[in-house]
Structure 1
Amino acid sequence: MSVSCGAECVCLVGCTRWAWKRCTHVGSDDSVDWPYATLDEFEPVPRICAVILAVYELDLEKPQFAPSSGYCINPSWIVKRVTYEETLGHAPPYIIYADHDHREIILAIRGLNLVRENDYKLLLDNKLGMQMFDGGYVHHGLLKSAIWLLNQESETLRRLWIENGRSYRMIFAGHSLGSGVAALMAEVVVNHRDKLGGIPRSLVRGYAVAPARCMSLNLAVKYSDVIHSVILQDDFLPRTPTPLEDIFKSILCLPCLLFWVCLRDTFISEDRKLRDPRRLYAPGRMYHIVERKFCRCGRFPPEVRTAIPVDGRFEHIVLSCNVTSDHAIIWIEKEAEKALQRMKESSSGTVTTPPIVQRLERLQTIEKEHKDALERAVSLNIPHAVAAEEEPHADSQASTLPPDEAAQPSETPSESGDGSTNWNKLAKKLFEKTESGHLKFTGNQNE
């Protein structure tokens, strides 16, 4: 009897401890030790969020979701606007916008449409460890969508970049489902920059807003100088290690799913998570917009924290009534704009804050953070992680798609006499499968 009572007490204490830790964990805890983002590095985020939000509009002349300051988009600079009917289910709708004021070429992709069957098919086209890419794992369906988009639009992007003096930044941006497509597009382009006119790596950017977990940890850290993830407070998607297809199968009972994920992850050690090469993560450098704090009611002036985390990379679900509302692009754009205005006030001296870091010093800090993150990944024995000094030069880096024909989109156009680039065949040429089943670099990047 005493033994059973003791066991019950142990279980009760354990459950109480788990419940306390989960109930007191708030979104701001994930970035509590991170430094604050500076005005220069965060300045593009609200503007790019507004461009993504514009993709959701049926008619920009009569906007339904316009920000308080408007979209600030010149309609004559919209190069292309593609709808569901034109993508044929291969990708979400998107626009290509040449922002001549800020010298940017933006390809913006919308997020999941809950009433579109093709979006669900895109999410469901994946199994754990199904798609290997550049020494890591990525979401199979999102990679196929990224390749399809590059097959469709790379010539347009290349022409725009060359016609505008080869000095514009090339930005791939997306929200939710589109964030994964945009991040993987940026990753592929970085490895084949010669196919877009030889654009420098420093001019390629990927912005994943409310990001999907689409790539393994070694890739998320490796491309953190190119890809930036923007997360609003308690957003559930970048924190949910459950595969995307399971999330949206359970969309009608999302609270039940999140509770189960919390319970399951309690009994999985951090070491085991880091050792799994197939586990997917939100990509790149993180920008966390924080506006609520523990045991304090209401929203506060938002602040933006940034880092390249390796361990503890948004691994804990937040039990909050805002986990879904913080995923909405409307709220993200609104709070990002507030945060930017607050940074501008701070830099002008109207608010008492620590001195703003000088631009050159901040650029050096960003480079050092990237190098430190790569070394941290190696020290933690992250599968396929590469130290900074061992990382291939940007000009010789190679992406990989498995030679398995089932992994290639059959609908993409083959290489034709018009000189257009077939991104599937280009990536496939880089690697061949050995007798042991491993992928071997063949060095044919320039073919």
Structure 2
Amino acid sequence: MSLACCLPILECVYCLACARWVWKRCIYAAGHESQDWGLATADEFQPIPRLCRGVLAVYEDDLRNPIWAPPDGYRMNPDWVVLRKDYEDTEGRVTPYLVYLDHDNADVVLIVRGLTMGRESDRAILFDNKLGKAPFDGGYVHNGLYKAAQWVFDAEHELLKGLLEDYPTYKLTFAGHSLGAGVVALLTLVAVQNRDMLGYIERKRIRCYAMAPPRCMSLNLAVRYADVVNSVVLQDDFLPRTTADLEDVFKSLICLPCLLCVMCLKDTCMMEEKMITDPRRLYAPGRVYHIVERKPFRFQRFPPVVRTAVPVDRRFEHIILSCNAISDHGIIWIERESQIALDVSSSIS
């Protein structure tokens, strides 16, 4: 048989293989990842909507007249804000953050806001993520986020130590969104490793809630610190699933669907065993809370459910081909859906 006769057959095989791949990717939905996980209880999920509103407060210029105004019972008390730092104060080392004494919940809270795309310093933090560049405690972490976390700890550990000594029954909570979520996740690791600098605080009094975090720590660290670090992911959010170089992701925003397709192909073709056994590969940190509110081939939203686990496999390994992959990253949507999920869970229990 001549080569000219073989080419149409090869083209047909290739087209069928591509069609099969597209079909498998299109029917792969976010709910598949967490379908075997247990449901989160209302008690364990209770802090998350409140801390989402805390993240929104970091964006406010005037906490007494907030633009993102939550109901009166949920507003942050401006008189309890101990410290606020903006870009001038941080010198571009990290995004703006605040320290808050939450007397209603017996909590010392440090909250870091997310990325500002127009800020070169923010992009530099997120893009500094060469694989295996930053070893930490027997694993690997995201280099740029780790340096930002270390800067925050060096700047604020004396303040946090003083507050914890003044309020010995209070917990120490770190919270953040997007880039800030990665910073607080690694800040928690630094704090646990240096508890002597925080007045020898017990490990069980430290906790972290990372909303829509980037992949920032190796699997062994994600599992080992799951008792103190929690990730919150809304449905199809792309960032906790993004294994590509983040610089390439943000340079390709004009044609993000094309990039997502390429990343899907890459992740689909990579052997699962290779992904899990690579000690340098980074993952979403800690225990994962996955808010699921849509079903495959359904456009309307359903009452959200929250599934949780400390997964070793299927830890958000694949990009979801979804028109909501970007919008699900927004802190406003995370706050809204997490509050609905908490209300639903509380009414059932």
Which piece of structure 1 moves more, 113-122 or 246-255? 246-255
- The DSSP-based 3-state class of the residue aligned with 1:98 is strand
Distance 1:167 1:129 in 2: 38
Matches within 5 A, 1:35-434: 35-68=38-71, 71-164=74-167, 166-347=168-349
Cα offset, 1:103, TM superposition: 0.5
Query: How far apart are the structure 1 equivalents of 2:48 and 2:78?
Result: 20
Give the 3 Å change call, closer, same or farther, for CA 54–71 of structure 1 in structure 2: farther
Offset, 1:182: 0.1
Aligned length: 346
Counterpart amino acid of 1:240? T
Q: Distance in 1 between matches of 2:338 and 2:57?
A: 16
1:305 is paired with a residue whose SS is strand
Identity %: 56
Deviation at 1:8, TM superposition (A): 2.7
Residue 71 of structure 1, CA deviation: 4.2
Paired residue type of 1:117: E
Work out the CA distance in 2 between the residues paired with 1:197 and 1:7: 68
Letter in 2 for 1:81: R
Unaligned stretches of 5+ residues in structure 2 = none
Find the residue that maps to 2:255 and give its secondary structure.
Answer: helix
CA distance in 1, matches of 2:171, 2:11: 61
| Aligned with 1:7 (options 2, 5, 10) | 10
Task: Point out 4+ residue stretches in structure 1 off by more than 4 angstroms.
Answer: 68-71
Task: State the Cα distance separating 1:256 from its structure 2 match.
Answer: 1.9
User: What letter is aligned with 2:113?
Assistant: R
Contact 2:69 2:75 in 1 (8 A): no
The 3-state SS of whatever aligns with 1:289 is strand
| AA aligned opposite 1:144 | K
SS in 2 for 1:52: helix
Deviation at 1:58, TM superposition (A): 1.6
Q: TM-score, normalised by structure 2?
A: 0.96
Provide the rounded CA distance (Å) in 2 between the counterparts of 1:278 and 1:244. 16
The SS at the match of 1:101 is helix
Shift of residue 248 of structure 1? Answer: 2.2
Structure 2 CA distance, aligned partners of 1:254 and 1:167?
47
- Cα deviation code 1:324-353 (max 9, x no counterpart): 110000110011001111111111xxxxxx
- Name the CA distance, whole Å, in 1 between partners of 2:260 and 2:313: 21
| Coordinate RMSD, CA, aligned | 1.4
Q: Which runs of 5+ in 1 are unaligned?
A: 348-447
SS at match of 2:318: coil
Structure 1 contact 51–71 (Cα < 8 Å) conserved: no
Q: What is the alpha-carbon distance in structure 2 between the residues aligned to residue 132 and residue 37 of structure 1? A: 32
Q: Any idea what the Cα deviations from partners look like across 1:103-155, whole Å, max 9, x if unmatched?
A: 11110000000111110111222312111111111111111100100111000
> Take 1:12 and 1:52, find their aligned partners in 2: how far apart are those partners?
47
Conserved 8 A contact 1:136-1:219 = yes
SS at match of 2:39: coil
What is aligned with 1:420? none
Tell me, yes or no, if the aligned pair for 1:174 and 1:181 is still in contact at 8 Å: yes
Measure, in 2, the Cα distance between the counterparts of 1:299 and 1:68.
23
Q: Which structure shows the bigger proportion of residues in helix conformation?
A: 2
Summarize deviations over 1:274-317 as a string: whole Å, max 9, x none.
Answer: 12222111100000001100122311111100011111110111
3-state SS of paired residue (1:40): helix
Larger CA deviation: 299-308 vs 267-276: 267-276
Q: CA deviation at 1:258?
A: 1.0
Give the Cα–Cα distance (whole angstroms) in 1 for the partners of residues 252 and 88 of structure 2: 27
Tell me how far apart the structure 2 counterparts of residues 244 and 295 of structure 1 sit (CA, whole Å): 29
Shift of 1:6: 3.5
When normalised by structure 1's length, the TM-score is: 0.75
Quote how far apart the aligned CAs of 1:273 are. 1.0
Post-superposition shift, 1:175?
Answer: 0.3
Which shifted more, 5-14 or 257-266? 5-14
Contact 1:236 1:327 in 2 (8 A): yes
